[in-house]
Structure 1
Amino acid sequence: MVPRRGTPALGSLLRLLCSRADGLLHGMAQPSVWDRFYAQQDAASPNSHFNWFFSYTTVSWLLLPALQRWGPPEPKPSPTRVLDVGCGTSDLGLGLYQDSPHPVHISCVDLSPVAIRSLRRLLQDVPPPRHPLSQLHLCVADATNLEVNSFEDSTFHLVLDKGTCDSLLRCPQGSGQAGRLVAECLRVLQPGGSLLQFSDEDPDARIPFLEQASGTGVTVQEVGHIGGICYYVYMLSRPPLQAPTNSAAD
């Protein structure tokens, strides 16, 4: 049986939101479509984050330990660098920024300037971060072509994708667009860094796609059931650099 591409949760959510998301299902790669969606969302709920799938609190138990994997050296801690691709107005990056006991530099990027503008306004009155050296940056950027915005190779320790790959897979050139997203996420990862992709798509469909797009192994963990739907986190790592071997002299 061929796994079904097109997960139920995102499609169901968009149908429920059809009065505010007219055309979204057929234009998810178009900035103008997302601009219209987030403008309507902002008008309806100007003081609220819009979270695809679930909010930060649902996965904080998983993300905070992931940050500690790159525990900063003492006594001079260096920040863990995190990229949230396709952030929209989600509270994912904000939650990590506020809760991390170690310094983090978080970059939240989205194709829609309207979403970034709304998120920037939502962040105006947030409490200071738990660690005084933590930083949160917002940027309008295409996650399938981050190089245009000067995101260099091997920059981040952790890349987060909550629903962005799912939306690209529904575009007319879905697998190609989503493949470029995965490639860009891996490009900006430091050796040994990880991409965490949150989705409700069944592992039988998502794992083969990710393996083909990345050329690396994929592990999956169940996040839990929310509203009767099972969510997963797919984890891909950029291989660490191999130490050079010294050949023994004869």
Structure 2
Amino acid sequence: MGQYGEQKYWEERYNTEQAPFDWYLRYQHLKPLLAPFMTDESCILDIGCGSSKLAEELYDDGKKNIKCIDYSANIINKMQDANISARPEIDWAEMDVKAMSFDDETFDLIIDKGTSDAILCGTDSYAQLSSMLKEVSRVLKKGGVYVVITYGVPATRLPHFEKEEYGWKVDKLTTPKYEGAPPNQVYYLYVMKKVSEEKEEERNDQEDEVAVTIESDAPPKMSSPGAETGASPSTNEGNGDENLIDFDPPPEMQ
């Protein structure tokens, strides 16, 4: 499964694979979950689009301002050729999600269906995902939403998503893997809403008020273990390999 994080794997796969492939869920299942975050005028980005039919189905549902990126030139060329007549307004581009060429604050909605999961299967996965999330935050509009559809449980995903530097608030949703699935058979949707400037100022003011209150009520400081020797608390950065344990390859959906 480590190959899912490697560009060479996807180029070779798309060179031989002809049928569309959708990770996890198709648009008809995701539509009611995505609907609150988009209108027909929304500027939408599908990152790591692969051969998914998501963009095509969004387009057929009235969303015409769609951009799709993937670092596989092979699949971008195939998808562009397949849609040039029926869906000419979809913009397909070969691009690395960790170094996007879009302007700051371009998109109202960014959809990640399995791309984060693939990155977490690769080498130096934590740093690679961090680079991607910084870029996603950069190109997402204030008030815009980044939605991640994944098998990843909160314990393995929230530590990556809930970082102040990205400037968003994270909510978690779940949806059954299939109709009639037991309660423990779910996919997760992490919804990151970029904080507007007004909300950010309001939040900063609230944090300042809390800080003043805490400082005024705080007891005398106690030395932490190791303070006398200058020792630092131990850390375990990890490389993402533990994320492979809960990998649940979805069935191909035609």
Instruction: Specify if TM > 0.5.
Output: yes
Of 94, 111, 120, the match for 2:80: 120
What amino acid maps onto 2:173 in structure 1?
Answer: Q
Q: TM-score, normalised by structure 1?
A: 0.71
Q: Does 1:201 align with 2:142?
A: no
Match of 2:136 among 177, 185, 188: 185
Give deviations 1:22-56, integer Å, cap 9, x for gaps.
xxx333343222110111212xxxxx321111222
Which residue does 1:58 correspond to in 2? Answer: 29
Runs of 4+ aligned residues of structure 1 deviating over 6 Å after TM superposition are none
Q: Secondary structure at the match of 2:145?
A: strand
Indicate the percent of aligned positions where both proteins have the same amino acid: 27
The answer for unaligned runs of 5 or more in structure 1 is 1-24, 43-47, 72-78, 129-133, 246-250
| 1:83/1:160 contact within 8 Å kept | yes
TM-score by length of 2: 0.70
Deviation at residue 105 of structure 1 after TM alignment: 0.9
Please tell me the residue identity of whatever aligns with 2:11.
D
Q: Tell me what 2:53 maps to.
A: 91
| Alpha-carbon separation, structure 2, partners of 1:197 and 1:97 | 20
Map 1:66-215 → 2, pairs under 5 A: 66-68=37-39, 79-100=41-62, 104-124=64-84, 126=86, 135-146=89-100, 150-212=101-163, 214=166
Q: Which amino acid aligns with 2:175?
A: V
> 1:28 maps to which residue?
4
SS class of match (1:89): coil
Determine helix, strand or coil for the equivalent of 2:197: coil
RMSD, aligned CA: 2.4
One-letter identity of the residue aligned with 1:170: C
Number of matched pairs: 196
Q: 1:138-164: CA deviations, max 9, x gaps?
A: 000000110xxx311011111100000
CA distance in 2, matches of 1:104, 1:80: 8
Match of 1:226 among 168, 178, 184: 178
Structure 2: runs of 5+ lacking an equivalent: 203-254
Structure with greater Cα Rg: 2
